[in-house]
């Protein structure tokens, strides 16, 4: 088993990776390189390294900053954390899916490339890797991307985003989804091939006898529903709900339906949302290759330079997507509703909810039209199936996905640093414990529960809970 504490990675970078990167740089000669562990940038399942690459080009010296990503942990950890699935899929994005999308963009002569969506990829490998795998059969992963910090890209605010952040996020994900639809209309076999290249990442796997004991989604959403309905039961007879309000009476009815259908196994609702687009004839046309975890954690922003002014309202000049480990094939609402609920306040939702959806759809539809222009087998009727009205009807049936994400994540994001550190530790060490469930119910208190209630009120009022 490979030592993932650092030495093996540094040796691999020195002996193998730099040479392979140089093969991607036509006409450049290596002068020197520096590598360092990225420290706090590490994720739960990944180890990250910054690489400074110095080369000589025909016009003089050049310096690049790259980031290399490796898997953490031993085989048992990687199996239990689904690392093998997630890293295989993320590698597939850069090695197979984005190159296929690039061909569509090039053939359509669009003024758009995959580098407009993601950091430029240099290396994407998964499986047995010479110099990295400790033995035959030991799977490893290495992903090398351009590091965007030198170009001014940074993460946005910790949780809640402004209109300046949200609308560019709508545009870039709309472009990305549009290529799946273009392939469906012009090369459906190619879309099917790309879809099949991805390893399915279900929320529940009934075929796996160990799923009920090892599937983290089950414990996370069990705790989320326990928290929600503990709060509802404590507040239902007080003044938290306005019994004279038609909206609140509808919400109470929808919460009763939600409890009756999914309290026993909340994660089945996530799985229903994931699979319905595969099974329902009305929704199949909206099936797309997704990002899967599209929210402010996995988006980098570059701002226009300005002097003075409100830091929070800086104009966003560009957006890039990162971290495709949760990639799935499914409804675009899995991507859209996630950040539209997770990264907005009640005030922002009230102000620009429909503007976000219209911005997404306008960009998606214009990209789709441009991608299929001149194709003799695509007619106006086929494009009309992706009209805003058709899209919004689909969105309304699937938008509750974002609410589900909030029920789990918002308490963690809105709690104190001490509470968040405690529950994160329990997540990694004792997910099945009563202590984890109890901590999940308590962190942040009713101040957080009221934020969750705001999300649910919005979803109920918009009709997104009607088809659960």
- Domain termination residue (choose one: 151, 170, 195): 151
- What's the domain range around 35? 7-81+119-151
In a domain, 141, yes or no: yes
Instruction: Please tell me whether residues 330 and 417 are part of one structural domain.
Output: yes
pLDDT score recorded for residue 241: 96
In a domain, 320, yes or no: yes
Measuring CA to CA, how many Å separate 369 from each of 36, 81, 107, 181, 377? 45, 40, 13, 10, 13
Q: Using CA of residue 330, residue 281, residue 97, residue 153, what is the dihedral sign?
A: negative
In a domain, 99, yes or no: no
In the chain, how many domains are there? 2
Instruction: Please tell me whether residues 169 and 67 are part of one structural domain.
Output: no
How would you write the pLDDT of the chain (468 residues) with one tens digit per residue?
Answer: 344 458 999 999 999 999 999 999 988 999 999 999 987 666 778 999 999 999 999 999 999 999 999 999 899 889 888 999 999 999 999 999 999 999 999 999 999 999 999 999 999 999 999 999 999 999 999 999 999 999 999 999 989 999 999 999 999 999 999 999 999 999 999 999 999 999 999 999 999 998 988 899 999 999 999 999 999 999 999 999 999 999 999 999 999 999 999 999 999 999 999 999 999 999 999 999 999 999 999 999 999 976 655 655 689 999 999 999 999 999 999 999 999 999 999 999 999 999 999 999 999 999 999 999 999 999 999 999 999 999 999 999 999 999 999 999 999 999 998 998 899 888 888 888 999 999 999 999 999 999 999 999 999 999 999 988
- Count of beta carbons in the 10 Å neighbourhood of residue 402: 25
The Cα–Cα gap between 436 and 425 comes to 9
Q: Quick one: tokens of 358?
A: 């219209």
In a domain, 467, yes or no: no
Instruction: Please tell me whether residues 50 and 191 are part of one structural domain.
Output: no
In a domain, 369, yes or no: yes
pLDDT score recorded for residue 43: 73
pLDDT score recorded for residue 5: 59
Instruction: Please tell me whether residues 146 and 169 are part of one structural domain.
Output: no
Instruction: Please tell me whether residues 300 and 322 are part of one structural domain.
Output: yes
Instruction: Please tell me whether residues 47 and 173 are part of one structural domain.
Output: no
Instruction: Please tell me whether residues 263 and 278 are part of one structural domain.
Output: yes
Instruction: Please tell me whether residues 196 and 210 are part of one structural domain.
Output: yes
Instruction: Please tell me whether residues 161 and 146 are part of one structural domain.
Output: no
- Count of beta carbons in the 10 Å neighbourhood of residue 425: 12
pLDDT score recorded for residue 3: 46
Instruction: Please tell me whether residues 300 and 268 are part of one structural domain.
Output: yes
Q: Quick one: tokens of 290?
A: 């997704």
Three-point CA angle 338, 249, 256, nearest 5°: 65
Instruction: Please tell me whether residues 239 and 293 are part of one structural domain.
Output: yes
In a domain, 332, yes or no: yes
Domain containing residue 282: CATH number: 3.90.1200
pLDDT score recorded for residue 427: 86
- Count of beta carbons in the 10 Å neighbourhood of residue 422: 16
In a domain, 2, yes or no: no
Give the closest residue to 337 by CA, choosing from 459, 449, 217: 459
In a domain, 97, yes or no: no
Residues in the chain: 468
Helix spans in 263-345 (H):
267-279, 333-342
pLDDT score recorded for residue 1: 37
pLDDT score recorded for residue 424: 86
Instruction: Please tell me whether residues 431 and 390 are part of one structural domain.
Output: yes
pLDDT score recorded for residue 35: 97
pLDDT score recorded for residue 2: 40
């Amino acid at each position: 088993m490979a030592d993932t504490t650092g030495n093996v990675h540094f040796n691999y970078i020195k002996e193998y990776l730099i040479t392979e990167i140089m093969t991607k740089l036509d006409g450049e000669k290596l002068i020197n390189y520096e590598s360092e562990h990225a420290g706090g940038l590490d994720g739960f399942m990944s180890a990250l390294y910054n690489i400074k690459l110095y080369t000589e080009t025909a016009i003089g010296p050049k310096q690049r900053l790259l980031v290399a990503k490796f898997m953490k942990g031993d085989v048992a950890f990687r199996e239990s954390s689904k690392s093998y699935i997630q890293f295989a899929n993320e590698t597939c994005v850069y090695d197979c899916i984005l190159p296929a999308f690039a061909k569509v963009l090039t053939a359509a002569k669009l003024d758009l490339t995959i580098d407009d969506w993601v950091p430029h990829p240099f290396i994407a490998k998964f499986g047995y890797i010479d110099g990295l795998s400790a033995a035959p059969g030991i799977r490893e992963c290495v992903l090398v991307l351009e590091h965007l910090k030198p170009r001014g890209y940074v993460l946005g605010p910790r949780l809640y985003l402004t209109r300046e952040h949200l609308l560019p996020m709508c545009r870039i994900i709309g472009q990305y989804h549009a290529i799946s639809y273009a392939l469906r209309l012009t090369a459906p076999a190619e879309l099917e091939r790309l879809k099949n290249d991805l390893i399915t990442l279900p929320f529940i796997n009934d075929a796996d006898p160990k799923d009920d004991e090892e599937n983290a989604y089950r414990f996370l959403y069990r705790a989320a529903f326990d928290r929600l309905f503990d709060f509802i039961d404590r507040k239902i007879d007080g003044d938290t709900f306005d019994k004279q309000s038609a909206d609140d009476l509808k919400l109470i009815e929808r919460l009763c339906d939600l409890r009756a259908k999914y309290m026993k196994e909340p994660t089945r609702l996530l799985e229903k949302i994931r699979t319905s687009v595969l099974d329902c004839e009305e929704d199949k046309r909206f099936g797309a290759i997704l990002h899967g975890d599209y929210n402010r954690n996995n988006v980098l922003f570059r701002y226009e330079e300005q002097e003075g002014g409100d830091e929070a309202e800086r104009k966003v000049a560009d957006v890039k997507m990162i971290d495709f480990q949760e990639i799935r094939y499914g409804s675009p609402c899995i991507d859209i509703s996630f950040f539209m609920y997770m990264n907005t306040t009640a005030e922002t939702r009230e102000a620009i909810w429909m503007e976000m959806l219209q911005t997404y759809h306008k960009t998606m539809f214009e990209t789709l039209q441009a991608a299929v222009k001149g194709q003799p087998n695509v007619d106006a009727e086929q494009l009309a199936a992706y009209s805003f009205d058709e899209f919004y009807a689909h969105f309304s049936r699937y938008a509750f996905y974002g609410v589900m994400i909030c029920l789990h994540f918002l308490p963690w994001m809105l709690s104190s640093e001490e509470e968040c550190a405690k529950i994160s530790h329990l997540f990694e060490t004792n997910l099945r414990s009563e202590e984890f469930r109890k901590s999940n119910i308590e962190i942040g208190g009713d101040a957080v529960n009221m934020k969750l209630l705001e999300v649910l009120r919005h979803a109920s009022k918009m009709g997104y809970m009607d088809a659960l």
